[in-house]
Amino acid sequence: MLLQACLNGSRTREEHPAIPRTPAELAAEGREAVAAGAQVLHLHPYDDAGTETFAAGPCATTLRAVRAACPRVPISLSTSEAIEPHPQRLQTISHWTELPELVTANQGEEGIVELCDLLIARGVGIEAGLLHLDDAHRFIDSGLADRCVRVLIEPLDAEPGPAVAHAEAMEKVLADADVSLEQVHHGDGIATWHVMARALRRGHGTRAGLEDTTRFPDGQLAPDNATLVRLATEMIRHVHPPKFVVEPHDLGIRSGVEVDDIGALIERIEDDFHH
């Protein structure tokens, strides 16, 4: 079962003091996240001025730094139009000199099919992002499904109930269209944990890190990415114990949630939703 770490996104230091932005910070956070159980690293490069960017230089520098710290771990870069809209995005990304293994490509964005065509031709894997129900239908109609690596089902609803229902609805669109791609489900804010709990019960992969949420299920601020990833790792181990093994030194969770309490934690998350 796949577990990704999402290290930064567009979050600011005001939202969380440990948000990594520089290549060195992302490399260090990536190393810790992998040690905690992450199998793929998703990140947003920043330039020297502290601005998210698709520019070839900062992207290459970031990729090299994270690869040196996390050898053989696939890296996924964002292609969000919030960083640079179409058609400028297509032009800028076409100049990449160092390529990631993967990119996330939000299917509701203008010009996303052209961008996917460009990156697929250069050997980059596509993680098709579905943020809204309409995105799922557009993805089916685009014909991209057979050329993607996986689908990211990522409802942005702030409240857990609508977020879980939204994820379920997008999953149904894929099932009705016989799309058999691997799925990774994740949410936003506190709803992250509810979307994650449902995904694990359904046998899907998930994602954890400061881009998605800065807080634990009980609302406490998480100290860093690795702690969030470690908690997700323990949730996976609880639901699918034979298929997900971590070393004994990875079992402690610095959030104060002990390994024996993981089952109760998942039940509380699910009870929260049902009530």
Three-state secondary structure string covering the chain: CCEEEECCCCCCCCCCCCCCCCHHHHHHHHHHHHHCCCCEEEECCECCCCCECCCHHHHHHHHHHHHHHCCCCCEEEECCCCCCCCCHHHHHHCCCCCCCCEEEEECCCCCHHHHHHHHHHCCCEEEEEECCHHHHHHHHHHCCHHHCCEEEECCCCCCHHHHHHHHHHHHHHHHHCCCCCEEEECCCCCHHHHHHHHHHHHCCEEEECCCCCCECCCCCECCCHHHHHHHHHHHHHHHCHHHCCCCHHHCCCCCCCCHHHHHHHHHHHHHHHHC
The pLDDT tens digits of the residues spanning 79-117 come to 999 999 999 999 999 999 999 999 999 999 999 999 999
Q: Which one is predicted more confidently, 251 or 80?
A: 80
- Supply the pLDDT for residue 35: 98
Q: Could you identify the residue written with the tokens 């939202």?
A: 15
- The gap between the terminal CA atoms of the chain, to the nearest Å, is 28
- Supply the pLDDT for residue 241: 83
Average pLDDT value over all residues in the chain? 92
What's the predicted TM-score (pTM) here? 0.91
The pLDDT > 70 percentage for the chain reads: 92
- Supply the pLDDT for residue 266: 78
The strand pair at 125-130 and 150-153 is best described as parallel
The pLDDT tens digits of the residues spanning 199-218 come to 999 999 999 999 999 999 99
Q: Could you identify the residue written with the tokens 């005001």?
A: 14
Distance of CA 239 to the CA centre of its chain: 20
All domains of the chain, ordered by start, with CATH? 3-274 (3.20.20.70)
- Supply the pLDDT for residue 230: 97
